[in-house]
Structure formats: structure tokens, C-alpha cells
Structure 1
Amino acid sequence: MPSKTPAPYVLAFSSVLLVHPAIAETTDRTTLPNMEISAEADESSYLARDASTASKSSVPLKEEAQSVNVVTPQAIQDYQVRSLDDAMKFVSGVSQGNTLGNTKDALVKRGFGTNDDGSILRDGVRSVVSHNFSAATERVEVLKGPASLLYGALEPGGLINVVSKQPQYVQSTTISGSAYSEGGGSLTVDTTGPLGDTGLAYRLIAERQSEDYWRNYGIDQHTLIAPSLTWTGERASLTLAYEYNDYTSPFDRGTVFVDGHPANVSYDKRLDEEWAKTTGISETATARFEYQLSDTWKTRLTYGWNNDRYSLAIAQPSSLSSTGVLRRQANGGHYDYETRYASWDFIGQQDFLGQRHDLLIGAEQEDSDKYRGKTYRNTAQAGFNIYSPTYGSLAEPSVISTTTSNLSNQLTSTSLYIKDNWHLNDRWILVLGGRQQHYDQYSAQGLGSSRTVNRDDNGDTFLPFAGLVFKVNDALSLYGNYSRSFVPNETVDDDGKTFDPEEGRSFEIGAKYDISPNLSANLALFDIEKKNVVTTSTIDGVSVSDAAGKVGSRGLELDVTGRLAERWNLIGTYAYTHTEILDDPDNEGNRLSQAPKQTASLYLSHHLAIPSGLGNWHVGAGARYVGERAGDNANSFWMSSYTVADAFVRWEHPVAGYKTQVQLNVDNLFDKHYYPSSTGSELQVNVGEPRTARISASVTF
């Protein structure tokens, strides 16, 4: 007969030890293999010691021959991070790109990046989802420089990996809610715990948000449901996760520039129509199975799938008269983006001739299918005065374009890769790796007799990586690397033009230094060149793309994070990035658009020394600076530099025996007007959010 006493087990999450409650009275324990989830050095700190993105396993950051930044759960909580763009204010060298009317994540990394460049991952799987930060996000890891060795087709600026919250073996439920100063708010439930003595643990996160848009009309809504399940045995573990998000948000093209400056119009009034919005459903699913083959080797099977089905309706500006009359075109379309991913990895240590090799050997298959169905292109219409806007004169998009509808971009790739962290001795680590990738690419568009095949080809490429780490002492390590990147160009503009693959190379040197046990500094210097870079702009309502030929980016990045002193936490960043178009008949010598030369940020938080009977009080404030940016590659207009400050105060105290907290966050504290990005046109410049406040409360039991 099976015993009614639960089998004892202990689950180790890197440096955090979680013990099943049923084991508390058991003395004979079995220790299970560690799960690679990369824990924090200190749960209440902004400093992380390990990350999994650079090696697909938890490796100390000081042993990586690359620059890696982590936005920790504490930083996310303190500043109530609600988007990837918001999270990147804690990371050097990353700024906002063309967000497609605030409907997509768009991040420029070391001068490179678009809203559709494949550089955002969800738990290590490339994502096509429009917005990737949610209530299910635990932390964000940023790998700087080329990452094609482990992740395939990527531009060389870097990638961003959004890491999800995992099921826990300790029962906990948190109910939280927030109210937004512009109107509306959100309600979230996060519950996790073991399922009896089965070895299973669950997590369920659900959120409903409905908030008024800060400009004169629009609403931002979503419903999120994210269940996950983990099973852990003696040598094996399995994690299944799913996320569903039903959303609608305004499609806001921002404002217009006149003679190189923002037009003298109301900051909070939109220049489009109430029907201009995006509505869709995004889904992600992952399955990860690990088996401990021996004390030093394990194998991992990963499957990932994500899908984003949405519709856009846009009041697209096409021209502006000298008297302020804007000509607009009602455009729209239906989109269905999907990624399927599978990998098989072997991760372990092997000693050879007295030297340790930390090895990763793997194979992967990835399929990306980006489909745009019916596309609407109404006739452009004048008559909208930006200085005295009257809404309702432009009808919703309804005229189907036979030439641009049914656009299909398919990319399939199969790869083999290997990475070796070769410990030559206690101080020197040689990092070597390579990836052999085969890809097939297909693109076609048009309805009926207008349908044309733009591309149907394939190719092979080898991507090398070489790095060196020198551990000067326990506090300081130096590193350098050389790597290459490769991206098949998926761009097809409205004229059906396609482009050769992007190819890049990068050199980087840097230092990682522990100023104190809980405060760390990272310094990186890099030089990147890339050719066959495609830029897209909209002219008279038609997307036109061009290859910029050869471009370069070089610069310096500094990040300081951790505990500055007792009760004080710090995040400080600085980046200098010089970008240049190196080979182009029209724009040679110009700076790349959307890429600031200088960015910086400084954020401090403090745990106030107040008698415990009054609860725990935390306060914090900081600011980010973004330098002047070119609005397009022709450098025909510029967006001015800006500095935006944020602040928070949080109170924590048990209420009726339950952990309770109330927090107030104020963003853009001094109500700065600023313009963070553009689409490459003076008629479409994004407008930064003004001063807003959010009060939130939660109880955990």
C-alpha cells in the first residue's frame, strides 16, 4: 500500500532554498537537482549575481565574457514598472524606438533596433507578441552585443529576455489593486503553492486593467490569465506555462513637427480619430523538461509557442500645409504573427587534462510566420486643422488594397550550436562557441491576380564567438569578446521590395567590479559594424524601405547597481553611443535615427528608520536623461534631449496577520513635455506621458 506520508523533497532555486511544508517534521531528506531559474543575490536589492540568458543556464555574471544587466523584482516593484520601455530606464544603452503608435515594444540597443527585430524573448523563446511585460513578469535580463550564438537571427545590439514568475512550493496568495490618476485602474490575483504530496506546484496570475488614456480620448484595457504548473521528481522536472492576454489600446501617432520643432498645439490632444486603436489577443505557451543525467550533466527539452492576432486602424498623416491643415489617410489591417520553437540542450561540466569545461551543446528548430491579411488603404483626405481640431470627418478604413493584402513572411531555421566556458586555471576563462544555421525564407503578397512572390530562397551561415575572462581577484574580472551576427531581412515595403540579409561583427572589452559585497559596477566598450540595414519610412501613406548600406556603432556603457549603504539601494547608468551611417549614397556620415548619443539615469531608494509599530516605510526617487536624437536617417529633424523624474513611497505592515502594503508612485514628477521617438517622419513623433500618479495596495496571505 502506498504511504499516506508525503515523500520528502527539497527544491533549490539557485541560492534560494524552498522547503515543502509537509517536510518540516521529516528528518530524512532528499535533495533534488537545481532548477535553472537564476535567483537574486538579495531579494530586497537591485543587484543580481546570476543570469541565465547568456549561457542558457545559471552562470555567475562575472564569469560571462559579455555584458549582462538584470532588472530585478525589487526594482520592478519599487517603480511599478508596467512596460519594457519603462524597465529599460534601469539599463544603460537602451532607448525607445518606433513603437508603431505605442502598440508595440520597440527598443534601440547600442544604436540598433526596431519594433519587429526579433530581439525580445519570453523565457528564452523569441516573441512576436506586441507587448511582452505583464503581471506575470518576474525580472528582465538584457544581454548586450551580438547574441546570435545561442539565439540565431538577431541584430548585434543585444536582446531582452522577459523571465516569468514560476510556481513555488510554499503556499501564497496576493491580491492587489491600483487606481490611476487619469481614471480607471487594475485588479490582480497571484496565487501559488504545492498540490498536495504530488510533487506538483501551481501558479495562477490573473489581471483585469481598464484605464483612461492620458490624452483627450481612448482607453487602455486588457484581461490577462497566466496559469503554470511545475513537477519535480528525484532527477527530472517539468514546467508547463501558458499566458492569454485580450487587449485594446489607442493607436496614437503623437504630434507633428514644424520647421524642426514640435507644433504649437495642445500637448494632450490627439491628431487622429476615436476609432484609431489596436485590438487583439496574444498567447504564449512553453514546456520545459529537464533530466539530470549525472552529477555534472543534464539535458533539457524546450518547446515554445507564441501568437499575436490583432487589428489596427490608423489615421495616417501624409502631409501638412503651411496653415496647419493635416492630410490624413484611413489605413488598417488584420495581423496574425506566430512563432514555434523547439530545442534540445545538453548542459554540463567536463574535466580534461585538469581543466574544467562548462559546456552547452544544443540543436534547435524555429518557425516564424508573420501574416497580414486584409489591408485597408482609403483615399487621403485633407481638412483637419491641427490648431483647431474637429473630429469625425475621417471615416474608418474600409477600402481593401489588393496589392498589399495577404502579406506572408515565413522564416524557418535549423541550427546546431556549442559553447564552452574553458577554465584554463583559477583566473582565466576562455569562451569559445559556434553556430551553424540553415534557413528557408518565403514572402508573398497580394490578392487574386495581384499576388506576387517576393522571395523564396534559403541559405547557410556559420556564426563564431570568442571571448576571454580574466579574474584579477574575487572583486574584479576583465573580459573581451569578438562575435558575428546574421539576420535574414523580412522587410517587404508597400512596393514589394526585399533586401539581402544583415551581417554584423562586434568587438567588446569590459570590466566587472564589486565595489562592496552588495554593490557592483560594470563597464563596457564596444565597436559594432553592420551592413544591409533596412530603414522604413512612410511617404504619402505608403511604406518605403531602403538599405542604409553599412552602419556603425561604438561607445561606452557604465552600470552601478546594488546596496549603496545600509537601508540605501542604488541604480546608476551612463552610456555614450556614437552611431554613423558609413556607406550610403544619401546619408553617409549621418547619425542613425532614434539613437541618442548620451543617456544616463540615477535611482535611489531608502528604507526609513521608523519605529516598527508604525510599519516599514520605503521611499525612492530618480531620473533618466535621454540625449538629442535624429528623427530620421537623413537627420532632417531632431528630437530634443529630456530628463524625466519619478518617485515612490511605500508603507508595509501586517493587518489582521496578513502582509499588507500601500504604495504611491508619481511618474514624470515635474510634468516634463518630451518626445521619445518617431516613425522617421516629422508628421509622426511620439509624445511622452505627462505627470501621472498611481496608488496601489496589496495583501498577501
Structure 2
Amino acid sequence: MPSHVIKPSLLAIAVSLSGSPLAVAQTDEPMELDTMTVYGETYRNTATKTALAPGDTPQSISVLDQQALEMRDADSVATALRYAPGVNTELRGGAVGRLDLFSIRGFINYQNYYDGLQLLYNDWNLQPQIDLKAVEQVEVFRGPTSTLYGSMPPGGMVNLIGKQPSSEHFNKIEVASGSRNLAEASIESRGQLGDSNLSYSLVGLTRTRDGQAATSEEERHMIAPSVDWQVSDNTLVNFNLYYQKDPAMGIYTTLPASGLFLPNPNGDLPQDAFSGDANWNEFDKEVLLVGYKVNHNINDNWNFLQNFRYTDAEAFQTNTYTYRFPNDPFSQDGRTLQRQAYLTDEATTGFTVDNQFSGRFQTGRARHNILVGVDYLSLDSDVIYEDTAAPAIDLFYPDYYQISRSTINIENTALSSDFNIRKKQLGVYLQDQIELGRFVVIGGVRWDDFTGEESGRKYGAPVNSKLDQDNVSTRAGVMYRGANGLSPYLNYAESFEPQSGSDRNGNEFDPSKGDQWELGVKYQSQDQRTSLNLAFYQITKDNVPTRDPNGGPLDQVQAGEVRSQGIELEAQAQPIDSLLVTASYTLQSVEVTKDNTGLKGQTPVWVPDQLLSVWADYGFYNGPLDGLVAGIGARYIGEAEYNAATNEGNVPDATLVDIALRYNLGRVSHSLRGAELGLSVNNLTDERYYSCFDANNCWFGEERTVEASVSYTF
């Protein structure tokens, strides 16, 4: 069993996971691959919002469990997803961590979920993040998900499953140090409170380190308590809180491709190159999430779950960006970069609630699992933005101390903004999951009503825009669970995203919609040692705004379309007791299929043509290395475009190697039982790799980082 298991209450839901952990036995027996992780009553599978196991779901879903997260030293969504198929992480490089940004199947996504509820994002800089210390596992649901979750890009979504209370006592303290002056301490505790019907979970973290870019720093403090109250045999109430303070979050600035992977007469820029200013590089974010869950078993077959969360967040930043208009930001010398200075002051409040009513019944030979849901979210965010000219910087001989309030006039400029953003989304959904012999059939439909509003002053001009759009999304899938472990499946799913704006005749835009066809096969061996998921998919997203050829330069019409198609392979095998190997491969082709601006046939940025990863864990259970678990991984990121208009150049591909070691000191001496040493190295060879939005805005990937830790579990 994994070291972190959420113990069940009276009617626990047992979910069989294909991504199960490899554990070191406490005896001299060989390690065994566990195939069952048990979750509490309030857990729901991301792909269905039911207890249907991911392996029995006719759509692609990956589960990254606690073993994988710990071995790969994941402390952010980006680092957790590095080995997941179809996902491109670090879109803004390794030095930028203030936003969780990734693409799935070629479509960018800012919207993460935490325990099944959306983390409210104001579309600016204030995105709540969840530190992976508070996460039990990460679930990646690929393909359109709007039938269950409403507004969402068509590529898929990520749901972070938080650590939950347990009636079994567990305590762990850990300290770590490493590259860039890392200093980290964390605690984790859970158990039953005396002889009461209360159980708890508590996770806490403090971390400081230097940022990858010169003069930058990173700092985080987090605490996440949670309490389960077993009111009766049929009713469980959970109260949960998540608080995070980020006084410093590295950088957000960019670098030109010239000097990274394009030629520059002055040579190559170092990996710690920084185009900003140490005196004007503040980012202070504070996030409070307060929620509850009520799970009530009406009878043996019918259940009600209400999941609620309130959000209160704020962020203040001072920063710079490359000044791109009207000329190239680089002067003729290839080293002097023109800049603007800006600040933002943002605050968000809001809440989300999801009500799920589910029931099981049988008609003839068909077993039904009906789900009826109503969810609602509300966001209210205030944004202040100021922008002004700033001194240029010589990237090859930088002066990082040029900007201060005394040297720039940052307030009441032409781009001054002070405005309010409001969003509301109401969704009603219905899903039926049918098991008929060896067949699993799933069908769903959802209606959404989305409203949005911006009011105040934006970029120096009054703004008062309103958006009111509704949409119906559908989903259908079928899987045949073969006796030989092979389970072919086919699914169709739809997505939608609200789209603001109107054409030159005043006609408001419709939502941007996507649909997917996916054909795949899943395999699970009889001995549970081998699992596989192979998928072929095609996603089409339409109603994308593009320039109106009969209008002015800023007029748009919804004539754009983007198509993504590809192959994904995910596999896990345990050829011998002590070895667990996971691998994934993605081959994707994404292109604009309709457009009025000459983009037809072009590939968007941030879309590698291939992604390949392999990770292996090997456990030693006798001999001089008894108690050691060693992991090694390699990941390949294929070439990507950096010029969306012409596709004339590519961001180079990269192959990165990561290693991890965990050593159980209890094998050395019984008195050290519970103590463990850890060592991880990411990007072992310190390869230079990059990500680009365009030729003027690129980032370095994460440099080599080393982390050593010691923990004690009791």
C-alpha cells in the first residue's frame, strides 16, 4: 500500500488505479505492486464524478499517485505533469512559477481544479495555486470535459486531489536543502481525535530559495487543515481550509530568442539571464480557501454530495515587459532591450458549489449509475494596472538596479486601469453510466448559463462590457471489457468556452465550441502487473475569433477553426517484483484549419510535435543496498513553433534526465525505523532548453536542481 492512504469511512469507495505505487516492504519479502488505493466517501473520479475506476472509463485519464509525486520531487502542477502523456508543461519556462500553465492535446489551460471544484482565476495574474505537499494525487482528464465541468478548453483538465483526514494515525516531518539555497520544512499529520467521531488531516510547509534568474527569490508558506465529522453511519461532513502566502515568486519577464537558440553577435545568454529589475520585481500573493463537503447516503443505492468552497485572494506585483512597438525591442547592437514598467494590484472573492445526486438501480440486465448535478460559481475581482516607460537594459552587461518609484512615473499614465471583473456560471448536468455484461456505456448532457461583466476604466478608457451566453454540451462513450484484459472504447465529447466581443455589426459572439472523437484500447493483465492505454483522437475547436477581411484592422468575425489530432500511449509494467516502469508517448499535429488572416495551415506555439517519457523505480530488498529505492527518468520534448504567423522557425527539442533516491534508514537499524533519506536531481545534464511565445518572448527551461531531504514518520 502507498505510504499515504486515505482510509475509508462506513461506505468507502474503493478505486482501482492503474498508476499504483511501488512500496518497499518492511520485511525481507520482495516489493509488490499494489493495485488498490482506498479513498474516503467524498472522493469522486474526475472523469465521471462517480466511483467508476479510471481503467473502466471510456476516455483517457491518467492518475499520478503519491509515490510518483514524491519520487519525482513534484512541488508544482508543472513538475507533477512532466511525465504525463499529451501534456506540455513549463510553457513559460522553469523560472516562472506564479501561474500553473500547461497545454493538453495542444490547447492551453489556466483552469485547475482542486478536489473537484474550480480554482477561481480572474484571467489576469491572480491564479490560486495548490502546493503539491497538500496533494494526494493528480488526475489528468484528457479531451473535452464540459459535460461535467462547464467552461473548459477542449484539450482536457487537471484535478488535484487533496490529502484527506484518516482514522489511522500518521505523522511525518521533513526538512530539505539543495540548489539555489533551498531551505524547506514540512509537516503532515492525520488521525482520529481521541474516541470521538472526528478525524483530521494537517499539512504545513515553509520554503525559501533563490530564483533561477539573477537577483530573484522564491518564498512560500502554506497550511492546510481538514476535519471529517462522521455525524452518523450515513452522513459525513468535512470542513477544510487551505491558506498560502507567497511573498516572492521568482520572475515573469521574458528573453529574446536571439542569444538563447538563435544567433547573437554577442554570444549566448546564461541560464540565469534576467531582463527585469531587482528593485521592480515584486510579487506577493495570498490565497485563502475555506470549504466543506457533505456526503449523505440516503439508502444503500442513493447518495447526495455537496461540495462548497469560498475563495479570498489578493496579489500585488511590480514588473517589466519588453517594449515591442513600433520597432524590434533589440537595438542594433543585439544586446540592449527596451522595456516598460508596470504594476498590478488585484483582489478576488468568490465561491463555487457542486451538488451531486447519484443513484444505482437495475433495469433488466443493465445496471445504471445515474448522476444529476447542479453547480454554480461566482467570481468578483478588482484590478488596478499602471504602466510607464522604463530604462533599457543591456542583457550582456546588465544593471539590475535602475528602476524605482523615484526614477519612473508609474501612476496616472495613459494606460492606467482600475476596473472590476465579474463571472457567474450555472450548470445543470445529467449522466447515466450503464454496465451491461462486459459493456460500459456512458452518456451525459449539460446546460450552462455563463455571465461576465467588466466595468470601470481599462487602459485609459471607460469600459462597460457584458457577456451572457448559454450552451448545451453532450458526451457519449462505450467500452467493451474483454476477458483477456483488452478493453477497446470509443467516445465523443464536447466543450465550450465563453467568448466576449462582437462583430462590426454589433452581433455578439457565440461561445467557442470544441468536439472530440477518440478511439482507444486499454489493457490490464490478469496479474495486475501490466497496464496500457492507447488512444487516437481528433479535436476540432470552432467559433474562434479572427480578423474581419471586410472590416477595419480591429474588427473580428468568428471564422476561425483549430484542429488537433494525435496518438497517445501510456503504459506501466512490473516485469519483476522490484522494478516498476512507466512510459508515455504523444505524437500530435495541431493546425489552424480556418482563418481570415493567413494562418490557415499554421501550427500554434507551445505545441511540441512529440513528447516521450520513461520512468523506472527499482527497489533493493536484500544485500548491502537493502532499503533503497532508486528512480531514473528521461523525457523528450519535441520541436515547437515560435512564429505562429509563418511557422518559419522552431524551438529546439530537448532530452532531459531526472534521478531520485529514497533510502529507508530503518533497514540499517531498528532504532532508525521511520527515518528516510531522499535525493533528487532534475535535469541531471543541465541541458539548456527553451519555450517561446514568439521570437521576442522566450524563457529558459529549468536548470539542473539538486534536493536532499531527511524525513521521519511516526
Paired with 1:403 and 1:588, the residues of 2 have a C-alpha distance of 33
Q: Secondary structure at the match of 2:568?
A: strand
Paired with 1:357 and 1:696, the residues of 2 have a C-alpha distance of 48
Deviation at residue 198 of structure 1 after TM alignment: 1.5
Paired with 1:399 and 1:124, the residues of 2 have a C-alpha distance of 41
Unpaired segments of 5 or more residues in structure 2?
A: 24-32, 38-43, 122-126, 324-328, 548-553
1:386 correspondence with 2:395: yes
Q: 1:487 to 1:246 in 2, by over 3 A?
A: same
Paired with 1:167 and 1:326, the residues of 2 have a C-alpha distance of 52
Q: Secondary structure at the match of 2:81?
A: helix
1:300 aligns with one of 298, 305, 309: 305
Deviation at residue 89 of structure 1 after TM alignment: 1.6
Q: Which residue of 2 aligns with 1:256?
A: 256
Q: Which amino acid in structure 1 is aligned with residue 114 of structure 2?
A: R
Q: 1:417 to 1:474 in 2, by over 3 A?
A: farther
1:314 correspondence with 2:325: no
Q: 1:653 to 1:241 in 2, by over 3 A?
A: same
- Is this contact kept in 1: 2:17–2:53, CA < 8 A? no
1:290 correspondence with 2:295: yes
Paired with 1:650 and 1:199, the residues of 2 have a C-alpha distance of 36
1:32 correspondence with 2:32: no
Q: Which residue of 1 aligns with 2:29?
A: none
Paired with 1:159 and 1:290, the residues of 2 have a C-alpha distance of 24
Q: 1:179 to 1:347 in 2, by over 3 A?
A: same
Paired with 2:347 and 2:559, the residues of 1 have a C-alpha distance of 29
Deviation at residue 633 of structure 1 after TM alignment: 2.0
Paired with 1:548 and 1:599, the residues of 2 have a C-alpha distance of 30
Paired with 1:272 and 1:548, the residues of 2 have a C-alpha distance of 38
Q: Which residue of 2 aligns with 1:7?
A: none
Moved more, 248-257 or 202-211: 248-257
Q: 1:90 to 1:58 in 2, by over 3 A?
A: farther
1:565-606 Cα distance to aligned partner (Å, 9 max, x none)? 210011100001100011122311110110111001001110
Q: Which residue of 2 aligns with 1:27?
A: none
Q: Which residue of 2 aligns with 1:539?
A: none
Q: Which residue of 2 aligns with 1:599?
A: 611
1:459-479 Cα distance to aligned partner (Å, 9 max, x none)? 321111111111122511111
Paired with 1:97 and 1:218, the residues of 2 have a C-alpha distance of 18
Q: Which residue of 2 aligns with 1:109?
A: 104
Q: Secondary structure at the match of 1:593?
A: coil
1:672 aligns with one of 687, 690, 696: 687
Q: Secondary structure at the match of 1:135?
A: helix
Q: 1:17 to 1:72 in 2, by over 3 A?
A: closer
1:133 aligns with one of 113, 131, 134: 131
Q: How does 1:6-17 map to 2 (within 5 A)?
A: none
Deviation at residue 410 of structure 1 after TM alignment: 1.9
Q: Which residue of 1 aligns with 2:326?
A: none
Q: How does 1:147-296 map to 2 (within 5 A)?
A: 147-232=145-230, 233-247=232-246, 248-258=248-258, 261=262, 263=264, 264-274=268-278, 275-296=280-301
- Is this contact kept in 1: 2:681–2:705, CA < 8 A? yes
Paired with 1:103 and 1:491, the residues of 2 have a C-alpha distance of 28
- Is this contact kept in 2: 1:326–1:386, CA < 8 A? yes
- Is this contact kept in 2: 1:593–1:632, CA < 8 A? yes
Q: 1:462 to 1:500 in 2, by over 3 A?
A: closer
Q: Secondary structure at the match of 1:549?
A: strand
1:424-473 Cα distance to aligned partner (Å, 9 max, x none)? x21122211100112222123417994221x2232321111111111122
Paired with 1:491 and 1:40, the residues of 2 have a C-alpha distance of 44
Q: Which residue of 1 aligns with 2:68?
A: 75
Q: Secondary structure at the match of 2:665?
A: strand
1:361 aligns with one of 361, 372, 376: 372
Provide the identity percentage: 23
Paired with 1:400 and 1:615, the residues of 2 have a C-alpha distance of 66
1:52-88 Cα distance to aligned partner (Å, 9 max, x none)? 1011122122321110101110011111111111111
1:122 aligns with one of 102, 111, 114: 114
1:513-540 Cα distance to aligned partner (Å, 9 max, x none)? 014512211011111111244699xxxx
Q: 1:682 to 1:670 in 2, by over 3 A?
A: same
Paired with 1:501 and 1:311, the residues of 2 have a C-alpha distance of 32
Q: 1:49 to 1:625 in 2, by over 3 A?
A: farther
Q: How does 1:373-412 map to 2 (within 5 A)?
A: 374-382=384-392, 384-395=393-404, 398-401=410-413, 405-412=417-424
Q: 1:170 to 1:242 in 2, by over 3 A?
A: same
Q: What TM-score results when the alignment is normalised by the length of structure 2?
A: 0.86
Deviation at residue 637 of structure 1 after TM alignment: 4.1
Q: 1:155 to 1:349 in 2, by over 3 A?
A: same
Q: 1:449 to 1:617 in 2, by over 3 A?
A: closer
Unpaired segments of 5 or more residues in structure 1?
A: 1-11, 20-30, 537-542
Paired with 2:295 and 2:17, the residues of 1 have a C-alpha distance of 18
Q: 1:17 to 1:365 in 2, by over 3 A?
A: closer
1:661 aligns with one of 676, 691, 710: 676
Q: Secondary structure at the match of 1:70?
A: strand
Q: 1:491 to 1:332 in 2, by over 3 A?
A: farther
Paired with 2:382 and 2:400, the residues of 1 have a C-alpha distance of 32
2:710 aligns with one of 683, 697, 701: 697
Deviation at residue 171 of structure 1 after TM alignment: 1.4
Paired with 1:297 and 1:177, the residues of 2 have a C-alpha distance of 45
Deviation at residue 420 of structure 1 after TM alignment: 0.6
1:44 correspondence with 2:16: no
Paired with 1:351 and 1:674, the residues of 2 have a C-alpha distance of 55
Q: Which residue of 2 aligns with 1:415?
A: 427
Q: Secondary structure at the match of 2:80?
A: helix
Moved more, 471-480 or 228-237: 471-480
Q: How does 1:249-648 map to 2 (within 5 A)?
A: 249-258=249-258, 261=262, 263=264, 264-274=268-278, 275-318=280-323, 319-323=329-333, 324-372=335-383, 374-382=384-392, 384-395=393-404, 398-401=410-413, 405-423=417-435, 425-446=436-457, 450-453=461-464, 455-473=465-483, 475-489=485-499, 500-515=510-525, 516-533=527-544, 549-584=560-595, 585-611=597-623, 615-634=626-645, 635=647, 637-648=649-660
Q: 1:456 to 1:96 in 2, by over 3 A?
A: same
Paired with 1:255 and 1:544, the residues of 2 have a C-alpha distance of 31
Paired with 1:167 and 1:315, the residues of 2 have a C-alpha distance of 43
Q: Which residue of 1 aligns with 2:27?
A: none
- Is this contact kept in 2: 1:603–1:621, CA < 8 A? yes
> Number of paired residues?
658
- Is this contact kept in 1: 2:114–2:161, CA < 8 A? yes
Paired with 1:528 and 1:420, the residues of 2 have a C-alpha distance of 24
Q: 1:545 to 1:685 in 2, by over 3 A?
A: farther
Q: 1:262 to 1:467 in 2, by over 3 A?
A: farther
RMSD: 2.9
- Is this contact kept in 1: 2:239–2:292, CA < 8 A? yes
- Is this contact kept in 1: 2:15–2:36, CA < 8 A? no
Deviation at residue 281 of structure 1 after TM alignment: 0.3
1:681 correspondence with 2:667: no
- Is this contact kept in 1: 2:212–2:250, CA < 8 A? no
